[in-house]
Structure 1
Amino acid sequence: MSERFEVIVAGGGMVGAAVACALGHGGVRVALLDKAAPPREWPPEPVDIRVSALTRASQRILERLEAWPGMVRRGVSPYREMRVFDARGGGEMHFDCADTEYGELGHIVENRVTVAALWDVLDTLDSVTCITPAAVSGIEAEPDGVRLRLDDGRIFAADLAVGADGHDSLLRKLAGIGVTGWDYGQHGLVATVTTELSHRATAWQRFLDEGPLAFLPLANGRCSIVWTLRSDTAKAHLTLPDADFLAALAQASDGLLGKMLAVGPRAAFPLRFQYANSYTADHLALAGDAAHVMHPLAGQGANAGLLDAAALAEVILEARRGQRSLARRGLLRRYERWRKGDNLIMMGSMDALNKVFGSRTAGLSELRSAGMGWVDRAGLLKNYFNRYAMGLRDDLPSLAKGKDCW
């Protein structure tokens, strides 16, 4: 015997929880499945080394979902400027919120903060049921929907299943959806560091031979770093004593923030370009990393996932208001057309930047730096790039515009 819902969301991270929240606000009967419930509170130290640079569009989504106050309570870190440097060619770019109508360019937020605040909201939505622990082991099509089997034998049925279960998505594999992509041969090394000089609410990024080094400002005065390195270099850096690691980091930063005084736990994850060949199948839609994985050099992965969540919820709720099937093929294709093109543009841009800044072709560094200087001086073009990076572009879902979709 199976319990039936309108929508089952597999994956309770940032994207899956956002989908469930938006649908729950619209009164959709949703089951959110995850292997474990996330923590809601934690001691002040240590800071989570997994952070995201959330755009203005993402903030609007989270505000409409009523999660933003819980995030502010737990701690968000606004950044008002962004400075980008080319270590080899000497080029620079500077973006400032003073050139926009907003008081900041975005916020650096621990991933656990966003997830906890979303789950707080889920607790208040009568139509949402969070089921943990829950590990999906199989998926079966029905004439009017889909059934998900858990590894403990429980079965849940729904009109539509949403795979928000990460880059190695089991739902995607079970549905037979292939992926296209490649490994970069790079790892992203992450940690929290204490620096001699103030970060000045500025996101700093320096492009080096092996990849970019970013310092992301935290409210406690420290910085979260994301350092893209060749995989062998990153693994070696994980084993260095703290003093040796800080010395290597100080050399790579070239004194941007003075001396590197302390470092917390370090971790590294492999970097990959990957997209699902289809975002949808019968009675199934993919969102977030299950649908696409991009290079983190501009920190757009989480923002793209939240836009997926907002767009998918909008088309589902529109269909429900029209009393149409939530898994109608045309509906799912509309979601795919809406998001796939935008995601591929962002992914392609990140891939191109990584290749251009990683190239050692003679003369390219001078040309690259000259281009950075030209963009920095070109007011209209620079403003376009600034707004695009803030998520303020055309064809946004209603939630990203600050409007309800239910």
Structure 2
Amino acid sequence: MTTGPRYDVAIVGGGMVGAVLAVALSDADFHVALIEARQPKPLDPEADYELRQSAIAPGPRRVLDNLGLWERVPAKRICAFTGMKVWQAGGDDELFLENTAVGLPELGHIVENALVVDAAWQAFEHVDVYCPARLAALAVDDNAARLTLDDEQEISAALVVGAEGANSPVREAAGIATTGWAYGQRCTVGTVTTAHHHRHIAWQRFTETGPVAFLPLSDGRCSLAWHADEALADELAALDHDEFCRRLTEASGGALGRIEHMGPRAAFPLKLMHAREYVQPRVAIAGDAAHVVHPMAGQGVNLGLLDVAELVAALEAGRTAGADAGELRYLKRYQRARMGDNMMMLAATDGLKRLYGSRNPLLRVLRGLAIGGASRLAPIRRIMISQAAGLSPDGAPLLR
């Protein structure tokens, strides 16, 4: 028998999704433990931007607002964007989505992942943090989820949540199957200086080897996301600074003029992954532990924050009915709320990747027709913007 502390919820993973979930559940008066392998490094507000940035949509941002986390992020490191411009290399049509089409002050904000994580960790007033610590073993019975950590500490909880990323040990220990595939692409990221100001617009040009995207930063520079097939990604990694900038200028079609400088860069592989289920008795998974999407639409973190909102709502509903946090009936409420929407986003991004990554001449024509049609039909543009914004009047309380 486990003799260590007993919690309502034990969260494995202290990244953006896990940390925000810990704050949300703690604020809702659940007794929460967080297990994380590495302490987030202290952030210097004067340092250059971190490599990993996210485009936080208005709906998911409400989760951060309602938890008091958004106000903890240094405002000078956040950049609002009011439009998105999408076009195809070699095509004449372009699609421009703007905030005024749906009456929003902005379409979203670009912010460093690490800043949101730091804001959440600073709010752990009533969260018991086990760090550095990893999950060594998980046993689930009718009464509890029992966690053994790699330092031999033992804790138990009514519910364990895996929020530790795509290679989730909780998901693996629970035997939750996944489906998915690698895309044979890598995404090169970094901070770039362009000749022209971004004008608070997110720019994305589709090429046959993958899209090139520029996300606006608050100091006038851009965060680059260059998705490239493996062969091209290898070639790009070997380029010196000046040649990389020249190739990037070419790949972007000179949309923002010449690329004048590229900061430190890194690349990570792209894949699709979806769990066959999000919950079992006393077990739930969220964020990248449950779903990994192609990043071309910038929805990965947003989907994770929406998971947080719905999981908290489901656990509160269960508590109101007298159930503990591991009751499967209420966990399934979370699964129903999120699985369908997440699958739709996975299908949409996968379809876009295949449509815009094909060299088939017929598909090239269809791509042009798709962009041209959407650009000329205001109702379609409004639907696209509303979907990307993640706003729903019927959503969980943290989304209102």
Match of 2:386 in 1: 387
Per the TM alignment, residue 136 of structure 1 is displaced from its structure 2 partner at its CA by 0.7
Aligned letter for 2:276?
N
- 2:110 & 2:200 partners in 1: Cα distance? 10
What TM-score does the superposition give when structure 1 sets the normalisation length?
0.95
2:317–2:330: 8 Å Cα contact kept in structure 1? Answer: no
Extract structure 1 runs of 4+ deviating beyond 4 A: none
**What SS class does the counterpart of residue 172 from structure 1 fall into?**
helix
Per the TM alignment, residue 239 of structure 1 is displaced from its structure 2 partner at its CA by 2.3
- 1:83 & 1:6 partners in 2: Cα distance? 45
Identity within the alignment, %: 39
Equivalent pairs counted in the alignment come to 398
Per the TM alignment, residue 79 of structure 1 is displaced from its structure 2 partner at its CA by 0.5
Per the TM alignment, residue 40 of structure 1 is displaced from its structure 2 partner at its CA by 4.3
2:53–2:112: 8 Å Cα contact kept in structure 1? Answer: yes
Match of 1:19 in 2: 21
- 1:342 & 1:250 partners in 2: Cα distance? 36
1:67–1:120: 8 Å Cα contact kept in structure 2? Answer: no
Per the TM alignment, residue 46 of structure 1 is displaced from its structure 2 partner at its CA by 2.4
2:36 corresponds, among 25, 34, 37, to 34
Aligned letter for 1:79?
F
Per the TM alignment, residue 339 of structure 1 is displaced from its structure 2 partner at its CA by 0.6
Gap regions ≥5 residues in structure 1: 402-406
2:12–2:161: 8 Å Cα contact kept in structure 1? Answer: yes
Match of 1:397 in 2: 396
Match of 2:360 in 1: 361
Match of 1:245 in 2: 244
**What SS class does the counterpart of residue 258 from structure 1 fall into?**
coil
Q: For each residue in 1:30-68, what CA deviation from the matched residue of structure 2 results, as whole angstroms up to 9, or x when unmatched?
A: 001101221342152321010000000011110001101
Q: For each residue in 1:353-383, what CA deviation from the matched residue of structure 2 results, as whole angstroms up to 9, or x when unmatched?
A: 1111112222322232122111111111211
Structure 2 counterparts to residues 98-109 of structure 1, below 5 A: 98-109=100-111
Q: More deviation in 212-221 or 365-374?
A: 365-374
Structure 2 counterparts to residues 157-236 of structure 1, below 5 A: 157-236=156-235
2:392–2:399: 8 Å Cα contact kept in structure 1? Answer: no
Q: More deviation in 307-316 or 388-397?
A: 388-397
1:94 corresponds, among 86, 93, 96, to 96
Per the TM alignment, residue 159 of structure 1 is displaced from its structure 2 partner at its CA by 0.3
Q: More deviation in 35-44 or 236-245?
A: 35-44
Structure 2 counterparts to residues 304-383 of structure 1, below 5 A: 304-383=303-382
Aligned letter for 1:391?
G
2:8–2:324: 8 Å Cα contact kept in structure 1? Answer: no
Gap regions ≥5 residues in structure 2: none
What TM-score does the superposition give when structure 2 sets the normalisation length?
0.97
**What SS class does the counterpart of residue 189 from structure 1 fall into?**
strand
2:9 corresponds, among 2, 7, 30, to 7
